A and B are shown apart, each in its own frame.
Chain A
Amino acid sequence: MSRALELSRVEFAYPDGRVALRGVDLVVDRGERVAILGPNGAGKTTLALHLNGIFRATGGRISVAGMELTDTNLREIRGMVGLVFQDPNDQLFMPSVREDVAFGPANMGLSGEELDNCVSAALELVDGTEFADRPPHHLSGGEKRRAALATVLAMEPEIVVFDEPSSGLDPAGRRDLISTLHTLRMTQLVITHDVSLALELCPRSVIMNEGQVVADGKTSELLADATLLAENRLELPFGLSIG
């Protein structure tokens, strides 16, 4: 299997000196769906923002599909790695959902019929054709989440990184999201502290804490290790046990 993503000793410190990543190593194969688990402040979102070059690592190396992330291929990499942000309101900034979905592909140079087709296809993938012409602030939480996903899918990325995709969703919205993610064939990284989401979606999980990868393995095995979970401020939902 070829590699979708390769991170080696990635380090990052915020301008105020706070160190967020302390040498992250991670290899993800093409087509894998990996959960990134960890407590608040573990560096999960910071890591996500590195994957398409919004934050630039202060040390280490990041490669996407065998291509090392540099200033010259930033545009190409941003076309390959899609980020679905935690708050859909940050992702939906255009006057209508359709224009929002078109924003990315238009930046990549698509126009006319080609752009229209790409937008329609992305909206269909998330079952969002009916709210295409509505302004984002008139959508429900679940619809916003799907619209935000469509904005990323329209760019036909090879890797999609989801930041807390289930936060703020009601059980039915969460169920819809899980089934949508199941239908997507590309490599997926799901950042979450919702361990049951990880268990349901991702065969493999990575646990991060204090800017480092502390465990990497089969989700069911990691989640069966009560000590590991406790050390990393994670826990299984009440009544759920694995083992």
Chain B
Amino acid sequence: MGAGHAHALYVHEHSPFHRLVPEVKIAAAVGMITCVAITPRQEVWAFALYAVIVMVLITISRVSPLFVLARLAAVAPFVVFALFIPFIGTGDTTTLWGIELSIDGLWATWNIIIKAVLGASISIVLTATTEVPDIIRGLGVLRVPALFTSIATFMIRYLELITEELGRMRVAMTARGYDPRWLYQARPIATSAGAMFVRSYERGERIHSAMLARGFTGEMPIFDRRRAGPVEWASAALLVSVFAVVALLAFTTS
């Protein structure tokens, strides 16, 4: 069943992170990722320290390390790109297994890979412990404009439906003897994408009617829900401060 889509990133567990209010988690994740991103690349110890903290966070979240590793596949394209840099980089070079490599390029590769992996791991912990609608609500609390959060809400709600429709169209094509596999067969795919667009547009109109019928006046209502207490904000601030101190130390020693 297609039910996995919206929650493919989420791991059902009962960890302290699962209970934490979404906006606190989002703010902490953004803070931590920013610290990682600005840390000078040659301060390897700082990244080692970040990695240890991230591993502790993964343990607390009760998300399996294997799940995190599998999800890290998302950064693979960046890693592949980064691996080319030592070969095309300029400046001083070093020889490894008889191949001449740019030292600056090697540092650049390290920089991209370690920051991508750490940043993605933090995001994976966030999304594995927070359901997508909660992340959007959290973003709303953090004053992300309602227009963006509404668009995201609808996108997530209907993505699955659209995927299912696309699946049905594909089945209908296959049932009538057409099973496109090659690029030269792209035309029916393009046509069905067009049909999907029109169908989605029409659905959008019907949803809008349903919203108007229930008194929608252009603004999504905001519902009361549990807000973060000072303890929760303080724990997030503490976590981000640890990262900030490491980043600061890395700056002073570099």
Contacts and interface: CB of A to CB of B under 8 A. Distances in A.
A49 B156 contact: no
A79 interface: yes
B136 A91 contact: no
A103 B224 contact: no
Interface string B203-223: 100110111111111000101
B154 interface: yes
Contacts of B89: none
A188 B175 CA distance: 42
Contacts of B132: 95
Given A106-B223, A137-B160, 15 more contacts: A83-B210, A87-B206, A89-B203, A90-B210, A93-B158, A94-B153, A95-B153, A103-B216, A108-B215, A111-B224, A115-B223, A115-B224, A135-B157, A137-B157, A152-B214
The 9 A-B residue pairs whose C-beta atoms are closest, nearest first, are A95-B133, A106-B221, A104-B214, A107-B215, A90-B206, A83-B213, A91-B210, A54-B209, A78-B215
A54, A79, A82, A151 — most chain B CB neighbours (10 Å): A54
Interface in B133-155: 133, 136, 153-154
Contacts of B207: 90, 93
A79 B210 CA distance: 13
Interface in A97-142: 99, 102-104, 106-108, 111-112, 115, 135-138
Contacts of B154: 93
A87 B204 CA distance: 12
B17 to A, nearest CB: 20
B205 to A, nearest CB: 9
B215 A155 contact: yes
Contacts of A233: none
Interface of A: 49, 52, 54, 75, 78-79, 82-83, 85, 87, 89-91, 93-96, 99, 102-104, 106-108, 111-112, 115, 135-138, 151-152, 155
Contact of A137 (B3, B136, B211): B3
B210 A95 contact: no
Nearest to B206: A90
Contact of B212 (A54, A94, A151): A54
Interface in B194-249: 203, 206-207, 209-217, 221, 223-224
B215 A104 contact: yes
Contacts of B212: 54, 78
26 contacts: A52-B213, A54-B213, A75-B217, A78-B213, A78-B214, A82-B214, A85-B213, A89-B161, A90-B206, A90-B209, A91-B210, A95-B153, A96-B133, A103-B211, A104-B214, A107-B216, A107-B221, A111-B224, A112-B224, A115-B224, A135-B6, A137-B6, A137-B160, A137-B161, A155-B214, A155-B215
**A interface, over-half SS:** helix
Interface residues on B, range: 20 to 34
Nearest to B224: A112
Nearest to A101: B214
A90 B223 contact: no
Contacts of A102: 221, 223
Nearest to A154: B214
A101 to B, nearest CB: 10
A11 B153 CA distance: 37
B161 A75 contact: no
B133, B211, B221 — most chain A CB neighbours (10 Å): B221
A187 B203 CA distance: 28
B206 A85 contact: yes
B213 A135 contact: no
